[in-house]
């Protein structure tokens, strides 16, 4: 795929450059709680603006139902982008209507505008090729050139990600180029030992990547809510913990395959439990206990890996040359259940491995728990996209940039 450096060498002064970013930031009562995704697109936006482009930034935010919804407005993201650029950023209150055209028409070389949430138009996410294509045509009228830099959306066959690049000269931004380069290090000529840490709530979300990584990884370490399906598959009591009983046969099959292939599956030896799920807003102590993973009381819920497991997982990461981590080890948003996730993050920092944090909740946990993001090899901006890439799937947004 062509990159932004090639575009800059060709010259962009005065051209309208459409940057498909991922500004899908978390909001609490209209306030951004984590601006990591906005900061991730800054190098691309700055480079284009400094080269004299008229930069049109577009993104989705949340899951509005194809119509304007103030709760999902990109206004806060546009204001934050302006603060980070230390320059005015125009904001259009629609996507392809009069406000968008006025904002773009008003740009001078080197200036930036953000148009409203792409998902306020049903054509963005439509499964109908014609409807999606029509919306892409309307977006194309706003620009001369397309730069894809919203890695968190490249696994979606959406108008601004898949259809629009086909209508304009297209290039990969710095973020996407970096993300793809990192993912190639996890799939091609991997330095070993290669350890993968998978957590999160549902094992069903990770079955595809487990299946693929059984052919590539040396060690797969499991935590989070998904771990209780693994423990149940081994015949253990899991109390009232999250459980996907329908996935037990698949999990048993993966454990058998891992054993046959010599891939080490590492599961908890102890878990932190409570009688109920904690109130994440109150952050009040819930007086959790720690029990052996094979001796959970029937009425208890597992909410984190225990301290012995944290130490075990750290030992399994100590000699790794490559580590990919996707998914927290517990309910890290509450201090009583954050230590497992903290121990894994610290183990990655303590190792000499090339470490990749696979976006989503893992990236949020790194920031929430106060770790220095720059100390990791790479923190991805797209958890779902990273997982699908590692599953070996074709990502529509990357395929469109490669054409």
pLDDT above 90: percentage of residues in the chain = 85
Structural domains in the chain?
A: 4-175+397-402 (3.40.50.1260), 183-380 (3.40.50.1260)
pLDDT bin (cut points 50, 70, 90) of residue 360 is confident
What pLDDT does 36 receive? 87
> Is 181 annotated as catalytic?
no
> Is 192 annotated as catalytic?
no
Residues 6+ apart with CB under 8 A from 170: 2, 145, 146, 147, 148, 400, 401, 403
Min mean pLDDT across 118-122, 130-134, 186-190, 335-339 is at: 186-190
pLDDT bin (cut points 50, 70, 90) of residue 280 is confident
The reported pTM is 0.89
> Is 30 annotated as catalytic?
no
Known binding residues for ATP are: 206, 302, 333, 359-362
Contact call for residues 220 and 242 (beta carbons, < 8 A) = no
What pLDDT does 391 receive? 87
Count how many residues are written for the chain: 403
Known binding residues for substrate are: 22-24, 37, 60-63, 119, 156
Contact call for residues 200 and 226 (beta carbons, < 8 A) = yes
Q: Of the residues 15, 16, 20, 37, which is catalytic?
A: 37
Q: Of the residues 202, 257, 367, 393, which is catalytic?
A: 202
Q: Of the residues 133, 150, 310, 360, which is catalytic?
A: 360
> Is 37 annotated as catalytic?
yes
Contact call for residues 327 and 226 (beta carbons, < 8 A) = yes
Q: From CA 280, how far away is CA 270, in angstroms rounded?
A: 23
The mean pLDDT value for 199-204 works out to: 89
> Residue 283: pLDDT above 80?
no
What pLDDT does 31 receive? 93
């Amino acid at each position: 795929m062509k990159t932004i450096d090639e575009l800059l060498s060709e010259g962009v002064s005065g051209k309208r450059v459409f940057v498909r970013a991922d500004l899908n930031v978390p909001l609490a009562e209209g306030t951004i709680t984590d601006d990591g995704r906005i900061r991730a697109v800054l190098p691309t936006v700055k480079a284009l603006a400094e080269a004299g482009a008229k930069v049109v930034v577009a993104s989705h935010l949340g899951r509005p139902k194809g119509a304007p919804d103030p709760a999902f407005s990109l206004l806060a993201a546009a204001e934050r982008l302006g603060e980070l650029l230390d320059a005015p950023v125009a904001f259009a209150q629609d996507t392809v209507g009069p406000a968008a055209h006025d904002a773009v028409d008003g740009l001078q070389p080197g200036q930036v505008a953000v148009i409203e949430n792409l998902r306020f138009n049903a054509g963005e996410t439509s499964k109908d090729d014609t409807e999606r294509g029509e919306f892409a045509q309307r977006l194309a009228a706003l620009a001369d050139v397309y730069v894809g830099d919203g890695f968190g959306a490249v696994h979606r066959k959406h108008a601004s990600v898949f259809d629009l690049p086909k209508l304009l000269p297209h290039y990969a931004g710095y973020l996407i180029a970096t993300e793809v380069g990192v993912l190639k290090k996890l799939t091609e000529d991997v330095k070993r030992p290669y350890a993968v840490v998978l957590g999160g709530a549902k094992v069903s979300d990770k079955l595809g990547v487990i299946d693929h990584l059984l052919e590539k990884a040396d060690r797969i370490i499991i935590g989070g809510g998904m771990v209780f399906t693994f423990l149940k598959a081994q015949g253990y009591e899991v109390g009232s913990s999250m459980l996907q009983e329908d996935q037990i046969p698949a999990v048993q099959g993966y454990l058998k395959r891992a054993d046959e292939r010599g891939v080490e599956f590492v599961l908890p030896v102890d878990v932190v439990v409570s009688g109920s799920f904690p109130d994440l807003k109150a952050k009040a102590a819930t007086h959790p206990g720690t029990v052996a993973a094979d001796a959970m009381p029937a009425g208890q819920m597992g909410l984190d890996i225990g301290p012995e497991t944290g130490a075990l997982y750290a030992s399994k990461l100590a000699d790794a040359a490559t580590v990919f981590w996707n998914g927290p080890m517990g309910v890290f948003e509450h201090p009583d259940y954050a230590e497992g996730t903290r121990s894994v993050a610290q183990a990655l920092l303590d190792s000499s491995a090339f470490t990749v944090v696979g976006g989503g909740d893992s990236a949020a946990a790194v920031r929430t728990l106060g770790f220095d993001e720059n100390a990791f090899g790479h923190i991805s901006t797209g958890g779902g996209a990273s997982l699908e890439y590692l599953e070996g799937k074709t990502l529509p947004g990357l395929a469109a940039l490669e054409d």
